[in-house]
């Protein structure tokens, strides 16, 4: 969070009254038809429409109040500690892809700032492979082919590159797994100091990678939420580069949308199924595909589906009950620990994306997640149980007729099975 000053947009920019009106419209709308397809993926469609006629100066945006903040002042939240997005970007055309670069930075023209020397280790350009599951063809996006073994390298590369360009030299993150590993690695690669806060109950095996990259790891007593609260308090003295809070991270995960578009010959799939904890892949795809709509590169959008464990699925629970706010759910341990986020800060925005893309949420039992993990391994795909939720959700959506074999469906496989060796050993009944 920065100082309470807020810059006012220049002529043609947003107004709080208009943004608030749009927010209420989004909350009450139950669905959009094909004639509205160009606004499906904007968080607040009439704000986005206004942005298309406004100057393209990008700002931080509090989507819940409509307030904007200048982009040249590093911040991680609004004045009242609300999570931020960025105002709409125009997207890029295929001619603007830097085909000489084999990483997500080939799409750098789609970013809100241009960076001469990004922190990159070749993240992105992950394999998209065709397989058959339950007798139906499906495309597997193998996001574990990243430097630290998970999709979070996309967000870490972009977030830390842009923050370093803004003058940030030390960062704080809170994570018990892949997010902390990614921030630690990219901070090391970029010459930044990193402090990672993790729950005291975190397995030492999960913090080894963070420590190896030179990050200072602090173990916080209590729950995962206690750790997040401690990080927010520490943000008064060191910049909070949170993979859950910072909008630059979402502009790294949005590169998944651009990459799938290019992978498929500059087409978009019919369906995307992704594991969902805090929702960074759901929202990243929302942002990326909305930019492709805005740039005129596509006329359709994929339906986005979020897969969550029944033992900790607040987003799925709210979606399936038709709510746009948290509902009471019992939180229990899950083997899909990478998505065990009991209080996702962007729940409202994630629900809006699932509904406006006419996608949905799937809640999965522990048995379904375990079975999918071993079934994928049986065809050569070794992913952590968190990732396997995408395959389990595909099976349920296929059986329900929500998606069909004729459609192009992408499963986002987010993390390597090597990150969950003890858990997979338990599934196999193997003692380590």
Question: Which of 69, 174, 87, 161 has its CA nearest to residue 121?
Answer: 161
**The domain boundary residue, chosen from 222, 240, 258:** 240
Q: Are residues 146 and 212 in the same domain?
A: no
Q: In the prediction, which pLDDT does 203 show?
A: 74
Q: Are residues 230 and 331 in the same domain?
A: no
| Cα angle: 294, vertex 253, 268; to 5 degrees | 50
Would 263 be classed as within a structural domain? yes
Distance CA 133, CA 398 (A): 10
Would 58 be classed as within a structural domain? no
End-to-end CA distance of the chain: 45
Residue 30 scores a pLDDT above 50: no
| pLDDT classification of 38: cutoffs 50, 70, 90 | very low
**46 vs 339 pLDDT, higher one:** 339
Question: Which of 62, 345, 313, 308 has its CA nearest to residue 228?
Answer: 345
pLDDT tens-digit series, residues 154-203? 999 999 999 999 999 999 999 978 999 999 999 999 999 999 999 887 77
| pLDDT classification of 226: cutoffs 50, 70, 90 | confident
Residue 231 scores a pLDDT above 70: yes
CATH number of the domain where residue 179 is located: 3.40.50.1100
Q: In the prediction, which pLDDT does 57 show?
A: 82
Sheet of strand 136-142: strand arrangement: 128-133, 136-142, 409-413, 271-275, 303-309, 360-364
Q: Are residues 326 and 259 in the same domain?
A: yes
Ramachandran sector of residue 91 (left: φ over 0; alpha: ψ -120 to 50; beta: rest): left
CB burial of residue 130 (10 Å; 0-12, 13-18, 19+):
exposed
Would 77 be classed as within a structural domain? no
Distance CA 414, CA 385 (A): 10
Q: In the prediction, which pLDDT does 199 show?
A: 86
Whether this model's pTM surpasses 0.85: yes
| pLDDT classification of 29: cutoffs 50, 70, 90 | very low
Domain count, the chain: 2
Residue 276 scores a pLDDT above 70: yes
- Domain containing 174 equals 169-240
**DSSP classification of residue 360:** E
Q: Are residues 201 and 324 in the same domain?
A: no
Q: Are residues 297 and 201 in the same domain?
A: no
Q: Are residues 276 and 343 in the same domain?
A: yes
Q: Are residues 312 and 209 in the same domain?
A: no
Q: In the prediction, which pLDDT does 56 show?
A: 55
Distance CA 193, CA 170 (A): 4
Average confidence score pLDDT of the chain: 88
Please count the residues of the chain.
Answer: 432
Of 47-56, 151-160, 291-300, 365-374, which gets the smallest average pLDDT?
47-56
Burial letters 145-181, b for 16+ CB under 10 A, else e: bbbbbbbbbbbbbbbbbbbbbbebeebbbbbbbbbbb
Would 185 be classed as within a structural domain? yes
Q: Are residues 292 and 418 in the same domain?
A: yes
Q: Are residues 193 and 318 in the same domain?
A: no
Q: In the prediction, which pLDDT does 223 show?
A: 78
Q: In the prediction, which pLDDT does 200 show?
A: 86
User: How far is C-alpha 381 from the chain's CA centre?
Assistant: 22
Of 86-100, 171-185, 223-237, 293-307, which gets the smallest average pLDDT?
223-237
Would 82 be classed as within a structural domain? no
Would 161 be classed as within a structural domain? no
């Amino acid at each position: 969070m920065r100082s309470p000053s807020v810059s006012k947009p220049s002529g043609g920019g947003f107004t709080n009254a208009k943004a608030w009106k749009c927010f209420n419209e989004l909350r009450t709308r139950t669905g959009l038809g094909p004639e509205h397809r160009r606004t499906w993926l904007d968080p607040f469609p009439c704000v986005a429409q206004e942005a298309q006629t406004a100057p393209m100066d990008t700002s931080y945006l509090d989507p819940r109040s409509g307030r904007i903040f200048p982009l040249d002042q590093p911040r991680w939240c609004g004045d009242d500690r609300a999570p931020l997005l960025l105002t709409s970007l125009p997207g890029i055309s295929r001619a603007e892809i830097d085909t000489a670069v084999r990483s997500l930075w080939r799409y750098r023209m789609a970013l809100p700032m241009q960076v001469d020397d990004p922190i990159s280790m070749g993240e992105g350009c992950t394999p998209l492979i065709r397989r058959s599951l339950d007798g139906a063809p499906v495309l597997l996006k193998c996001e574990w082919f990243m430097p630290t073994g998970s999709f979070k390298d996309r967000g870490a590369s972009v977030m830390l590159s842009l923050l370093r360009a803004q003058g940030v030299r030390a960062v704080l993150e809170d994570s018990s797994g892949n997010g902390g590993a990614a921030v630690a690695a990219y901070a090391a690669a970029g010459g930044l100091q990193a402090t990672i806060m993790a729950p005291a109950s975190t397995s030492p095996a999960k913090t080894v990678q963070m420590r190896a990259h030179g990050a200072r790891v602090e173990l916080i007593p209590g729950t995962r939420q206690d750790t997040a609260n401690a990080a927010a308090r520490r943000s008064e003295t060191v910049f909070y580069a949170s993979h859950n809070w910072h909008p630059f991270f979402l502009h790294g995960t949005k590169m998944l949308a651009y990459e799938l578009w290019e992978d498929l010959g500059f087409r978009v799939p019919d369906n995307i199924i992704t594991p969902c904890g805090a929702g960074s892949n759901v929202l990243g795809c929302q942002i990326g595909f909305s930019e492709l709509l805005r740039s005129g590169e596509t006329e359709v959008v994929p339906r986005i589906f979020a897969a969550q464990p029944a033992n900790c699925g607040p987003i799925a629970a709210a979606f399936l009950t038709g709510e746009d706010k948290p509902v009471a759910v019992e939180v229990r341990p899950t083997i899909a620990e990478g998505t065990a986020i009991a209080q996702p800060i962007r729940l409202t925005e994630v629900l809006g994306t699932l509904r406006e893309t006419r996608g949905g949420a799937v809640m999965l039992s522990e048995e379904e997640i375990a079975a999918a993990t071993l079934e994928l391994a049986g065809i050569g795909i070794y992913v952590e149980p968190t990732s396997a939720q995408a395959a389990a959700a595909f099976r349920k959506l296929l059986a329900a007729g929500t998606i069909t074999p004729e459609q192009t469906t992408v499963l986002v496989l987010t993390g390597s099975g090597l990150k969950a060796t003890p858990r997979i050993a338990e599934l196999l009944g193997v003692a380590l």
